[in-house]
Structure 1
Amino acid sequence: MIESTEPTVRRSPGAADTTGDQPLLELRDLDTDIALRRGTVHALDGVDLELMPGETLGVVGESGSGKTMTALSIMGLLPPGGRVCGGQILFEGRDLRSLPAGEVRRIRGVRMGMVFQDPLTSLNPTMRIGVQVAEPLRVHERVGKAEARERAIDILRRVGMPRPDRIVDNYPHELSGGMRQRVAIAMALVCSPRLLIADEPTTALDVTTQRQILELIDDLREEFRMAVILVTHDLGVIAGRADRVAVMYAGRVVETAATEELFHSPRHRYTQALMEALPESAIRDSGEHARLYSIPGLPPDLSRPLTGCRFAPRCRYATDECRSAEVTLSAGEHQHACLHPVPVASVVPVSLPTPARVEPVSALASRAAGTGKPTAGPAEPAVRPAEPAAGTGEPVATAGDPTATPVLSVRALVKDYAANSGGLLRRTAGQVSAVAGVSFEVGPGETFGLVGESGCGKSTVGRLAVGLERPTSGQIMLDGTDIASLTGRERRRMHRQVQLMFQDSYAAMNPRMRVDAILAEPLEIQKVGDGAARRARIATLLDQVGLSRRVLERYPHEFSGGQLQRIGLARSLALQPRLIVGDEPVSALDVSIQAQVLNLMKDLQRELGLAYVFISHDLSVVDYMADRIGVMYLGKLVEVGPARDVVRAARHPYTQALIDAVPSVTPNTPAVRDGVTIRGELPSALNPPTGCRFRTRCPLVQEICATEPPLAGDGHQVACHFPLRAESAAATVDTGAVR
């Protein structure tokens, strides 16, 4: 028998009171199939969900779990070959499956709205923004062109779009990622729907823009009194925003409960495994890092018959009964489909390490107002906890000898791009300041994390470091040689020492080449060994990244995202480099696959003595990986220091804002509610602010900020006239202002 629990349900503060209301949406035993040439994929199998008016339901799980297919089934937007083949979709009491197609289209256009994962591909590149936002009004409400335009401007203003009267005449490619997502939300809301489905609405966004979009959805939910289904693989997003959570695996709901209840007392072993795979879960109270838990294997093939618990082949606690018995959801408010659930008494709540508490923005600003230039707080010791060795509790050092010669030394690096005015003459309209005087070093065996918002210049630094672009000025010293001065054969030889690991491994590979040719290509270009030596090297690479020899005969499209990233890492290692620059190498991966890749990168670092420059906008991942962190804003480093100090005792307001914007798996974390919040868009690098470039968005800004502060400090450096000060990891962060 399945264990059943009935915990007390606790809603998040501010959650809609739905007591006594009828469900707005009910899914009853929903089945969805996708017909393919090789067979039929049973994408959904008996899905039961319920959504109350004004409620936010979070749907979470790995890729292929059925999250997006559930949303598309509700909306009637299944891909070719897809059909709902069983069950009911009850919206406002009516079964959408039994209604005429025309009526379903009208409900979908007026009463429901959907925000897709990638707004650039969901927007028409040939149509102006205003036309696209107004289109639902023209089609479903027969509104005139002039009125539709005015209503489009109004909804764009309500979703926080700057200068909406001008934006309506722009095209999608002229907007930033965050602005395009606001357009997508405006399109979904223009007809005032009762249900909004947001499918991974923030996956491709940096943490500050992500926070703005999620807060926007929360505000609009209250304003429009609508219900929201938030589909994501990011557990932190779910924890901070949803009233209830449904965890999906292999086309089924395996656990559902109130958000706080689920995160404090997960019962299904799959939910437990997802939480253990989070980088936050590996950071102990002492600051040391444990090894990330990696869920073994892959989700099952849904085109084949399945028996028993679908998670059993990957579960540490599975028994023969789990593999043979049919498991259904238990009764009660906290439902789970697990024969051996996590005991309630043994559950340890997952939580982020507590950062230094930050005062509200209003308090910070008032304390800084009218003060002179403060002195920075005492420097924190530049100490990084050692990393535990794989499979052991013993720490091993990952950072190199501080007295050793740096593998990479970047000095006063500048990169400017010419900006053209457009048109036939294409006159130069100015220069884009992408990187402005960046300096840092990376020692042997060390990981230097580079973080910041999209557009801050961190990827440009990565491309410069591997020699894909030439700097405008400054030096990039690789083992004592300035690579910017190398040409021809010397530059090609330099690539043996430094390699780039791309964010999108599939896009970085030739889809017409098999894996054996992809891995052999750098060896052939550099003329390393003969055919036999290259084959032996490729075999060693596959062993190092944990792939079978069978993959050599396959093409990139035949692999999962995690497997592709392993192949990309193997290619980066082919020439035995000393330094690998990883440009957002895990940002597009599920949390379980992300854990596998991060563990692998750490293992290889210990084994081969690699140095990494790890570029990411996810501070929790960088905190786990890095020995030191550099924080970039609009082309400049604003803070550099040991990772533990930067994350737990940030000194620059921008750094603290990034930390506060990271979604926490602990619902309603005080630091998230009361910390430093960044408002507005990133200024243009074509005309950056004078002095401190962050001053146009900083809550502590004073007149003195118009003069640029230096990056100063001993070990932990900060470029700020009003640095935050932490007396300890748990102390209140002060502005450092003179009282």
Structure 2
Amino acid sequence: MEVPTQPLLRLRDLSTDIALRRGAVQALDHVNLEVRQGETLGIVGESGSGKTMTVLSIMGLLPTGGRVVGGEILFDGRDLRGLEAQELRRVRGVEMGMVFQDPLTSLNPTMRIGAQVAEPLRVHQGVGKAEARERAIEILRRVGMPRPDKIVDDYPHQLSGGMRQRVVIAMALIRSPRLLIADEPTTALDVTTQRQILELIDDLREEFKMAVILVTHDLGVIAGRADRVAVMYAGRVVETATTAELFRAPRHRYTEALMRALPESAESGRLYSIPGLPPDLSRPLTGCRFAPRCGFATDECRTTDVTLTGDAHAFACLHPVTDRATIAPSAAREPSASGAAKPILTVRDLVKEYDAGGAGLRRTAARVSAVAGVSFEVKAGETLGIVGESGCGKSTVGRLVAGLEPPTSGEIVVDGADVTTLDRAARHRMHRQVQLMFQDSYAAMNPRMRIDSILTEPLEIQRVGDSGARRARVSELLDQVGLPRRALERYPHEFSGGQLQRIGLARSLALRPRLIVADEPVSALDVSVQAQVLNLMRDLQRDLGLSYVFISHDLSVVDYMADRIGVMYLGKLVEVGPAHQVVRAARHPYTQALLDAVPTPDPGRTADAGSAIRGELPSAVNPPTGCRFRTRCPLAQDVCATEPPLAGGTHQVACHFPLRQEAAAGA
């Protein structure tokens, strides 16, 4: 589609402050951006860079204490800062739409889906209840919602994450806006749902002739979806260019550092991590804001206020990258020295079912098949990665192994002892051997406890040492995870996401376990912080001889961390093998579809539409017979109604028609 020459939206020297008790945070400092009709502008950067604050300033939805203190927000030639409140609401409700990062918190839990989707029609257009309902059903159908005539009467908690994201997209589009702003729309979604949502936004952009602003910290998402990219750091735009040009030859040292921190760019088996932390925006800053973290900074960088220079490719850097930047393939991980080691964990025929009975007198005997006959082992010093879509059962396996839930049947053998047959006291002692690292460390910590109490608590519960020994152990833990001793006096809310994950890792190490179950430990982190946490986990594994069960939906991260990978689908393992073989020579069609859905930092790579997984995940209450993937598999035949065994040598696959059969024969 031909892109108009005049911008639909233009920001000129936009500056935004957030008032605090003492002073103010300069969240945005002279931001200049523009986006044209039919164009997608990607905005990337670390947390705190100003991405979300930019779009909230545009929408007039700043948090308490926030206000635009300078510049212009020109939408179709009108400065939104000069509009009356009622006119601004009309523009925001009719001509602009916004998709927020967390759809669950964006939806009213007490309102039905149809009423929420239709609300803009009733508020801004006075449409009647019956007509609004019909139009809500139609827009839900256009965003790919299954059974929209039924969904309109559901509540948000009854929908999956991907379905809720479709609802908030429908809400943003029901008035056919000219500008759609998507703020981290796929951060918490697995790769297949992520691909569906991003393709949906692309299709709707074409259909509605919209401009799109896509905010994300995932460079792979930007590479495949945006026409142009703006890189933000510490409240400023530091580089902007077409997507192809930015990934071909980034000029700003911060952009280069973000790309080097990707798992795909691992050098010598180790991720690059950007040193230091972003600056404190509540204090006056001089010079290049990235200079304290840049290995190429000079005194001139620290004293000179660098502004964007250039036209089609503009950047604010006195010592820009001159060589062509490329993303090298990730170095294959050196296999752990666990080949002859005994298993620290053996799982045999693990089953977990939940009661799905109805309420009141109509209770049924229906059962949710969360885990259905899973078997695997983890050797000392080894990392087993478990991947799959949301709802596949991978986190349930982690909770069962960590002892947070009892299995319905099967064996969990830790260091030679079947945990499922032990009495309560013995299981309690066994927890020393296996610890769980949670996805959301903040939610897993008591906000009223200081860090010293949080780290000491497991030692007290297990009655390890006296008070002096416990203090010494806590100090040792802080050293191991790279945090200062003064952190002990602070509360969880005083730390960044990366620091909280370090604290969560320290707590899981307190009892000197042999196995750590890490459940999505870096899924919500920026690429630079993610690199720091992953490097730390591998360093500790080497130094302490740890074993990991590493659960994630990000195959690039699992490829970097794991020795072996197990792929789960609807409660079953469908493929298990060495990490490099599973990622580079997948044998199960589901595994290949997951790999094809992973966004990569390569604008020239186009996704294979034929490899996309079809349809929604079947119900775990009534899963398909035989191969559970057959209802969505392009290779399925009648024989797939019988269950295939997990078979093979070191690389096993449960499929009647495995990919690369010639490779399987030689395994």
**Cα offset, 1:511, TM superposition:** 0.6
- Give 1:533's aligned residue: 469
**Cα offset, 1:668, TM superposition:** 3.6
Q: Is the Cα contact below 8 Å between 1:351 and 1:666 reproduced in 2?
A: no
SS at match of 2:478: helix
Q: Is the Cα contact below 8 Å between 1:352 and 1:666 reproduced in 2?
A: no
TM alignment of 1:366-381, pairs within 5 A:
none
- Give 1:224's aligned residue: 208
1:485 aligns with 2:485: no
Structure 1 segments, 4+ long, off by >3 Å, are 384-387
Cα distance, 1:399–1:114 mapped onto 2, change above 3 Å: farther
User: Structure 1, residues 549-608: CA drift from partner, whole Å, max 9, x if none?
Assistant: 000000000000000000010011111000000000000111000000000000000000
- Give 1:208's aligned residue: 192
SS at match of 1:505: coil
Residues in 2 aligned to 1:17 and 1:291: alpha-carbon distance in whole angstroms = 43
Which structure 1 residue ranges, 5 or more long, are not aligned?
Answer: 1-15, 284-288, 354-383, 388-396, 729-733
Equivalent AA in structure 2 for residue 676 of structure 1: S
Cα distance, 1:334–1:638 mapped onto 2, change above 3 Å: same
- Give 1:194's aligned residue: 178
Identity %: 78
Residues in 1 aligned to 2:592 and 2:260: alpha-carbon distance in whole angstroms = 25
**Cα offset, 1:487, TM superposition:** 2.1
**Cα offset, 1:679, TM superposition:** 2.0
Cα distance, 1:59–1:204 mapped onto 2, change above 3 Å: same
Q: Is the Cα contact below 8 Å between 1:419 and 1:430 reproduced in 2?
A: yes
- Give 2:358's aligned residue: 421
TM alignment of 1:380-419, pairs within 5 A:
387=334, 398-400=336-338, 402-419=339-356
SS at match of 2:442: helix
Q: How high is the TM-score relative to the length of structure 1?
A: 0.89
Equivalent AA in structure 2 for residue 30 of structure 1: L
- Give 1:300's aligned residue: 279
Q: Is the Cα contact below 8 Å between 1:129 and 1:183 reproduced in 2?
A: yes
SS at match of 1:655: helix
- Give 1:156's aligned residue: 140
Residues in 2 aligned to 1:530 and 1:442: alpha-carbon distance in whole angstroms = 33
TM alignment of 1:389-538, pairs within 5 A:
398-400=336-338, 402-422=339-359, 424-425=360-361, 427-538=363-474
Mean Cα deviation higher: 230-239 or 96-105: 96-105
- Give 1:176's aligned residue: 160
- Give 2:652's aligned residue: 717
- Give 2:310's aligned residue: 331
Residues in 2 aligned to 1:151 and 1:252: alpha-carbon distance in whole angstroms = 41
1:47 aligns with 2:31: yes
Residues in 2 aligned to 1:473 and 1:203: alpha-carbon distance in whole angstroms = 34
- Give 1:32's aligned residue: 16
Q: Is the Cα contact below 8 Å between 1:352 and 1:665 reproduced in 2?
A: no
**Alignment length, in residue pairs?**
665
Residues in 1 aligned to 2:223 and 2:149: alpha-carbon distance in whole angstroms = 36
Q: RMSD value over aligned CA atoms?
A: 1.4
Which structure 2 residue ranges, 5 or more long, are not aligned?
Answer: none
Q: Is the Cα contact below 8 Å between 1:240 and 1:664 reproduced in 2?
A: yes
- Give 1:572's aligned residue: 508
**Cα offset, 1:496, TM superposition:** 0.7
Of 609, 614, 621, the match for 1:679: 614
**Cα offset, 1:328, TM superposition:** 0.2
**Cα offset, 1:267, TM superposition:** 0.5
Q: How high is the TM-score relative to the length of structure 2?
A: 0.98
SS at match of 2:517: strand
User: Structure 1, residues 499-553: CA drift from partner, whole Å, max 9, x if none?
Assistant: 0000000000111111111111111111111111111111111111001000000
Of 100, 107, 112, the match for 1:128: 112
Structure with more relative contact order (C-alpha pairs < 8 Å, separation 6 or more): 1
Q: Is the Cα contact below 8 Å between 2:250 and 2:325 reproduced in 1?
A: no
1:688 aligns with 2:667: no
- Give 1:361's aligned residue: none
Residues in 2 aligned to 1:585 and 1:403: alpha-carbon distance in whole angstroms = 29
**Cα offset, 1:38, TM superposition:** 3.1
**Cα offset, 1:37, TM superposition:** 1.6
User: Structure 1, residues 382-439: CA drift from partner, whole Å, max 9, x if none?
Assistant: xx9553xxxxxxxxx5341x232100000110111111212x3472340000000000
Residues in 2 aligned to 1:352 and 1:86: alpha-carbon distance in whole angstroms = 44
TM alignment of 1:13-92, pairs within 5 A:
16-18=1-3, 21-92=5-76
Residues in 1 aligned to 2:537 and 2:503: alpha-carbon distance in whole angstroms = 12
Equivalent AA in structure 1 for residue 483 of structure 2: L
- Give 1:314's aligned residue: 293
User: Structure 1, residues 295-334: CA drift from partner, whole Å, max 9, x if none?
Assistant: 1111111111000000011111111111110000012210
Of 306, 309, 326, the match for 1:349: 326
Residues in 2 aligned to 1:420 and 1:84: alpha-carbon distance in whole angstroms = 53
Residues in 2 aligned to 1:385 and 1:29: alpha-carbon distance in whole angstroms = 45
SS at match of 1:322: helix
**Cα offset, 1:290, TM superposition:** 2.3
Residues in 2 aligned to 1:611 and 1:174: alpha-carbon distance in whole angstroms = 37
Q: Is the Cα contact below 8 Å between 2:247 and 2:601 reproduced in 1?
A: yes
